[in-house]
Amino acid sequence: DADVTQTPRNRITKTGKRIMLECSQTKGHDRMYWYRQDPGLGLRLIYYSFDVKDINKGEISDGYSVSRQAQAKFSLSLESAIPNQTALYFCATSDFTSGNEQFFGPGTRLTVL
Amino acid sequence: GENVEQHPSTLSVQEGDSAVIKCTYSDSASNYFPWYKQELGKRPQLIIDIRSNVGEKKDQRIAVTLNKTAKHFSLHITETQPEDSAVYFCAARGYYGGSQGNLIFGKGTKLSVKP
């Protein structure tokens, strides 16, 4: 079944550590997104990519970087994690065949101590 | 860029009653308005969407209405059931400023349906 997967599902780390969150998809979609979810703040876009050679900053990109290693893989890195980056992170995919629907991964819960 | 306001932040109804969640948007060029449902511990999933050339869309017990002039859209759930309990997010696809055609989400409404 075509899906969007994220690893790890849960991660606890310390301030100052570099962390990578990974997203893979088997839907064959061109577009991939990273969102952050905080209680009461909804979903906020961190970075997005419309194809392998296209990377764009979203609403809250400071402190984050991304890499689109292949059409199916999109990684999010926290260069030096800080406690206010504690959140639930979602990857999502879409393309013209899905209309405008975005398909979300299961999420990664990150805690920065 | 686009800004989406969603109300209320929490909503509690009795099973069988109707629930209405309202959103307003700022970018008059926005043309696509989806609603996502997120059950506890799960990923957001699209439940219904509407485009700017349509005023209303229905799918069984859920419906969405759009008023382009007033720049607001609403989700209506009739005959609510306990399994409707979840957080609901509205979104608008914005074009101006930093939105660049991406979805801008409201902050969510936590709906509780009491048996």
Q: Note down pLDDT in tens along chain A; length 113 residues.
A: 669 999 999 999 999 999 999 999 999 999 999 999 998 889 999 999 988 999 999 989 999 999 999 999 999 999 999 999 999 999 999 987 766 789 999 999 999 99
Question: Tokens 């990974």 appear where?
Answer: A22
B113 in Cβ contact with B81 (< 8 Å): yes
Q: Looking at this protein, which amino acid is placed at residue A60? A: I
Give mean pLDDT, residues B98-105.
76
- Cβ contact A100–B32 (<8 Å): yes
* Closest chain B C-alpha to A15 CA, distance in angstroms: 26
Question: Tokens 């069984």 appear where?
Answer: B60
B84 in Cβ contact with B113 (< 8 Å): yes
B11 in Cβ contact with B109 (< 8 Å): yes
pLDDT of residue A98: 67
Q: Residues of A with CB below 8 A from B49's CB?
A: 100-101
A49 in Cβ contact with A68 (< 8 Å): yes
pLDDT of residue B101: 74
- Cβ contact B107–A56 (<8 Å): no
